[in-house]
Chains A and B, each alone.
Chain A
């Protein structure tokens, strides 16, 4: 259902764009295609990894790592998210599958939030644009914001 709505939305936007400017639409499709191709190798790898992880890790093991209401697993998940560089549409299904396998809301929310907002791998690049101090503080503040967000979500959704 979700996919059908998304397809219709994309087609609608695409035709609207084409009516306005075929050239721009072509450029948009080119951007879409090159982004897709660029992400494809990693996507295939992650899809394979999801299969392996879900097969080899018993729900009990996952629950031990991403355990509910455990401060250290939330901290661990937040650190894991800060270190991981992964597009959301690949990481989210993985994290959601953990959640279904019995992981806690708190560590999963921490993981998802630091994954998007904190980037240790990309920090050198960020420093080259904004300097060391701004990069450091944006990432530190985002990290602690993620912990607080995760804590509230764990409490509300538990």
Chain B
């Protein structure tokens, strides 16, 4: 009885400290930056001021283009049907499968690790390893929201040249893995 009563208590306190640190954890960089700015302000007030001014400019800059990008991400996520994709990238899908893997990869939203479960599902359901890897690397390197950001900050020569070089590299990596790296679906 006694152990039963103390156990939930200890679990509860553990959970509450966990949620507190979990809630603060994403802000570690922000808190560190504030601390550094305060320290800088003590010794070099003018430098701290120019640092805050630069940050303010970037904050404004980001707030004006991040909302539409996130809306586009959400829409793409909702409207691109995943079951359809899983059916069309299997062995024998050829260039159509590659094109599809690239298309869905570029239309994706979210970080690369969000792609792992979906790509693994595609693989388990019969997608070619080459297509799975092409899909992953497309998601990683050349998704459309990312290209728009790159175009904005680096300009067309940098962004488009990088795109033109990355696209064949992604396809080549897919085929190199398919042909030279031993793999089996049973691994997952």
Q: A interface vs B, CB < 8 Å?
A: 2-3, 6-7, 9-11, 13-14, 17, 24-25, 27-33, 35-36, 38, 41-52, 54-56, 85, 87-90, 92-93, 95-96, 99, 105, 109, 112-113, 116-117, 119, 122, 125-126, 128-131, 133-134, 137-138, 141-142, 145, 148-149, 152-153, 156-157
Q: A36-B66, A93-B62, A133-B183 are in contact. Are A48 and B74 (CB under 8 A)?
A: no
> Which residues of chain B have C-beta atoms less than 8 A from A126's C-beta?
113, 116
CA distance A32 to B187 in the complex (A): 34
Docked pose: A52 CA to B49 CA in angstroms:
10
Q: Which of B41-58 contact A (CB under 8 A)?
A: 47, 50-56, 58
- Distance between Cα atoms of A61 and B137 in the complex (Å): 33
In the assembled complex, the Cα of A98 lies from the Cα of B109 at a distance in Å of: 26
Flag B37-80 by CB within 8 Å of A: 1 or 0 each.
Answer: 10010000001001111111011011011111111111101110
Interfacial chain A residues near B137, Cβ < 8 Å: 117, 138, 142
Residue pair A9, B77 in contact (C-beta under 8 Å): no
Interface SS, A side: helix
Point out the residues of chain A lying under 8 angstroms from B18, CB to CB: none
Please state if B72 and A89 are interface contacts (CB–CB under 8 Å).
no
Also in contact, A35 and B109, with CB within 8 A (given A2-B152, A129-B188): yes
Q: How many whole Å from B68's CB to the nearest CB in chain A? A: 3
Rounded to whole Å, the gap between the CB of B172 and the closest CB of chain A is: 8
Question: A105 with B29: in contact, given A29-B74, A47-B55, A145-B169 (CB under 8 Å)?
Answer: no
Please give 16 more A-B residue pairs, beta carbons under 8 A apart, in addition to A28-B71, A48-B34. A28-B74, A35-B70, A36-B66, A36-B70, A45-B29, A47-B55, A47-B59, A52-B37, A52-B55, A88-B149, A92-B150, A93-B62, A119-B113, A130-B120, A138-B133, A153-B161
Task: Give the most central of A24, A126, A134: most B CB within 10 Å.
Answer: A134
| Closest-CB distance, A147 to chain B (whole angstroms) | 11
Is the contact region of chain B dominated by helix, strand, or loop, or is it mixed?
helix
Stretch at the interface among B8-16, B82-90, B140-148: B140-148
Contacts of A6 in B (CB 8 A): 65, 68-69, 148
Q: A27-B78, A116-B141, A153-B162 are in contact. Are A122 and B71 (CB under 8 A)?
A: no
Chain B residues within an 8 Å CB radius of A87: 111
Q: Per-position contact with A for B17-30: 1 when CB-CB < 8 Å, else 0? A: 00000000011111
- Asked if B32 lies at the interface with its beta carbon under 8 angstroms from chain A, I say yes
B161 x A156 contact (CB < 8 A):
yes
| Complex interface residues of chain B between 168 and 188 (CB less than 8 A to chain A) | 169, 172-173, 176-177, 181-183, 187-188
Q: Do B146 and A116 touch (CB < 8 A)?
A: yes
CB–CB B77/A31 < 8 A: yes
A/B interface sample: 7 pairs, CB < 8 A: A28-B71, A41-B29, A42-B26, A42-B29, A48-B29, A48-B37, A141-B176
Q: Which residues of A contact B162 (CB under 8 A)?
A: 109, 112-113, 149, 153
